[in-house]
Amino acid sequence: MKKAVWLMVFLGLIGFSLALAQPRTVKVGFVSTLSGGGAALGIDVRDGFNLALRHLNNQLGGLPVEVIVADDQQNPDVARQAVDRMLKRDRVDFLTGIIFSNILLAVGDAIFEEKVFYISPNAGPSEYAGEQCNPYFVNVAWQNDNLHEAMGQYVQTRRFENVFLLAPNYPAGRDALTGFKRYFKGRVVAEVYHRLNQLDFSAEIAQIRAARPKAVYAFEPGAMGVNFIKQYAEAGLLREIPLFLPGFSADADVIRAVGRGMVGIYNSSQWTLELNNPINQRFVEDFRKTYNRTPTLYASQGYDAALLLDAAIKAVGGDLSKKDELRKAMLAGFNSTRGPLRFSPNGYPIQNYYLRQVIQQPGGEIVNRQVGTIFTNHRDAYVDRCKLR
């Protein structure tokens, strides 16, 4: 009997020792819009993130990784349920993936209260850039205003005396037009906000035609952008009134859906296909091979979210309990698809913004081509309101 007891104790100790010897698994909760009108955006972020993990041998910072995926269906209540489950049941170490700012704002407090880092591959609301900045928030993409600021600056240099502004009525839409107006100094003939996920723009196009602006600037992500541009072109307005867009309203997903109607349109982006660094070149080449399509800026942001986690976890030697050190490592920066990338104290990137134009290549493919740089080492407008240092 005693021998059996000692054997059980001995085997238990061996099992405990083996458990200690096993490397800790990093758990990442990936919540994104994977169905409905915004699905193309979430799928691109997911595919970019997964490609990075493949390049990292399914490890982050040298530790094995488990990714738990949920579709938020672009619904704040669904997102809350998914995030709550990942925080309380799955005990994830990090969260990422959210596309839309209203979704992020609906779940942010719950994430931060658990002292879990949220790495944003897209949504960058102004709330988290200023007074509500949080040490557990880092955005690898941009602050919502930034791409719009860049296009506002470009349209200003073109000396258009007035513009018509259009965006969906949700946090990122309002941030978008605020950013554009920060740098465009001409007259705004109309600033129109429509229902989120609207697909029929006949009323807005009639307003544009009646206003007869010198130019139009529109922020329309996902299916909204596809429908708006198609309807704008079909109405004959592309030949009459120049249309300017942020990069996510004129990226490869929209180009695939719209086709030749996109050729000639200018847009702004923090990332381009041509960025000449080894990480971006490998990303673009392998994304095309793996998924049989041209990557978007969303895909690059998903890829970079994984690279940031890898660099930060490596910097703390895999000890995820070192929260302060993790944050410092994240803000110190990492090598991204955009080259070396660093962050302001509020967790938003300091980076270049480029001018792109949609062109048709000699072989027939329609793509964005980088044609200039609008801003260099640009910071967001809210960082001085953030008390973090």
In this predicted structure, what is the pLDDT of residue 369? 96
- Are residues 163 and 125 part of one domain? no
Residue 126 lies in a domain: yes
pLDDT of residue 15: 47
Q: Are residues 234 and 110 in the same domain?
A: no
Report the pLDDT value the prediction gives residue 58, as an integer from 0 to 100.
98
Q: Does 231 share its domain with 170?
A: yes
- Mark whether 243 and 371 lie in a shared domain: yes
Q: How confident is the model at residue 113 (pLDDT cuts 50, 70, 90)?
A: very high
Is 9 a domain residue? no
In a domain, residue 192? The reply is yes
- Using an 8 Å Cβ cutoff, are 137 and 347 in contact? yes
Q: What is the predicted pLDDT for the residue at 222?
A: 87
**How many domains in the chain?**
2
Res 8: pLDDT: 53
- Closest-CA residue to 207 (of 216, 198, 197, 199): 216
Whether 262 and 279 share a structural domain: no
Distances from the Cα of 165 to the Cαs of 80, 195, 214, 228, 327, in angstroms?
Answer: 32, 15, 11, 13, 37
Same domain as 362, residue 237: yes
CA distance 284 to 303: 10
> Average of pLDDT values for 73-91?
98
User: Would you say residue 11 has pLDDT above 50?
Assistant: no
Q: Is residue 18 part of a domain?
A: no
Residues 181 and 39 in one domain: no
Mean pLDDT of the chain: 94
pLDDT band of 389, cuts 50, 70, 90: confident
How many other C-beta atoms lie within 10 A of the C-beta of residue 365? 11
Residues 37 and 107 in one domain: yes
**Inside any domain, residue 385:** no
Helix axes 101-113, 171-183, angle to 10 degrees: 110
- Arithmetic mean of pLDDT, 62-81: 98
- Determine, yes or no, domain membership for 241: yes
Neighbours of 49 (CB within 10 A): 28
Give residue 338's Cα distance to chain centre.
14
Residues 114 and 233 occupy one common structural domain:
no
Per-residue pLDDT tens for 305-350?
Answer: 999 999 999 999 999 999 999 999 999 999 999 999 999 999 999 9
Say which DSSP state 379 is in: P
* pLDDT of 120 higher than 90: yes
**Residue 108: which domain range?**
26-142+275-343
pLDDT digits (tens, 9 = 90+) for 194-235: 999 999 999 999 999 999 999 999 999 989 999 999 999 999
Interhelix angle 101-113/76-88, nearest 10 degrees? 30
Q: What's the confidence (pLDDT) of residue 196?
A: 94
Where are the extended beta strands (E) located within 294-365? 334-336, 339-343, 349-360
What is the model's pLDDT at position 18?
Answer: 38
Asked if residue 213 belongs to a domain, the reply is yes
Distance, CA of 171 to CA of 384 (rounded, Å): 20
Per-residue confidence at 16, pLDDT binned at 50, 70, 90? very low
- 238, 155: one domain: yes
CATH number of 297's domain? 3.40.50.2300
Residue 251, Ramachandran bin (φ over 0: left; ψ between -120 and 50: alpha; else beta): beta
Residues 88 and 124 in one domain: yes
133 and 183, same structural domain? no
**What is the β-pairing status of strands 334-336 and 339-343?**
antiparallel
pLDDT tens profile 128-157: 999 999 999 999 999 999 999 999 999 999
User: With contact defined as beta carbons under 8 Å apart, do 229 and 216 qualify?
Assistant: no
Question: Which of 318, 345, 317 minimizes the C-alpha distance to 332?
Answer: 345
Mean pLDDT of 107-121: 98
Asked if residue 19 belongs to a domain, the reply is: no
